[in-house]
Every structure is written in structure tokens, then in C-alpha cells.
Amino acid sequence: MTMYFCLACLSSGRCLKKIALTVSDDELRNPKFLTDVRLSARKKNVSSHRWLDYLCSLYRDYDGTIFDHDGKEVLLDLEAFESVQIREWFRSWISAPDAGDKPPRLRSESRERVRLLATILRAAFPGEARLWGVEPANDN
């Protein structure tokens, strides 16, 4: 695929208008948002042994800029994933069966991991992420 840049972006080698926002605390409190992130991650069909590499590759290859909600550029710190049992966490969080009518609960130790996972997926798949947490206006 050939990419064409405007003159402003050509000098930096990336599109300066391609941006993503970090996942906010409000979004992490939204059960519909968490369910949608989990389902989106599950659809990627990545094994729990490969998730860390997959996220690191997506983040490395992202050619845009990530901002926080205050408008400051952010470099994500993936230290939250540096754990001996990270594969088990990916398996349990992404592949966990849905609890039916019960809203998903986010444990405090998972908060930053989910924020990082969702932020990287949002940056890599913006069209899909646009619908996370959105309720349909009606059932028609």
C-alpha cells in the first residue's frame, strides 16, 4: 500500500493528523465499554501466549500520536504487562466467558493493563473502537 503525505507530514515521515486518545477513567467505569473491548480483543484470535508481543507490535507500528484527555502527547509505559503471570491474565481477561446480565467488574490491579490494552487497540483499529461503549438508540 502506497501512502502519500502532505508537505507538513512528509518531513516527519508520518501523518501528524493521525491521533488516538488514551482510555479515560470514565470509560473504564463503563461496563458496556469493557464488554466491547473484551469482545474486540477476543475477535483478534490471538493466543494468550502471543498477546504481549501482539500489543507491542501494534504499538511499535502505530504511526500516529497518542494523547491524553488534557491534550498532552503520551508515550505508553507497558510496565504494567511485566509480570510472570501475564499470559494467564490475558487468558482470563480476554477469554473469560460473559456473565450474562451481570456487568463486568474491573479489578484494581487490572485497571492499567486494560487501559493500555484498550488504548493500543483503539489506536490500531479506530473504526472498530469508535463503537465501544455505544448503546443503540433503539432495537430496530
Cβ pair 35, 100 in contact under 8 A: no
Residue 1: the pLDDT is 41
Tell me how many domains the chain contains: 1
> Which cell is 68 given?
491524553
Tell me the pTM.
Answer: 0.84
113 within a domain of the structure (yes/no):
yes
Residue 120 located in a structural domain: yes
Instruction: State the residue range of the domain holding 34.
Output: 15-129
Distance CA 101, CA 99 (A): 6
Among 5-19, 40-54, 71-85, the minimum mean pLDDT is found in 5-19
The pLDDT tens digits for 72-101 are 999 999 999 998 899 999 998 888 766 666
Residue 39 belongs to some domain of the structure: yes
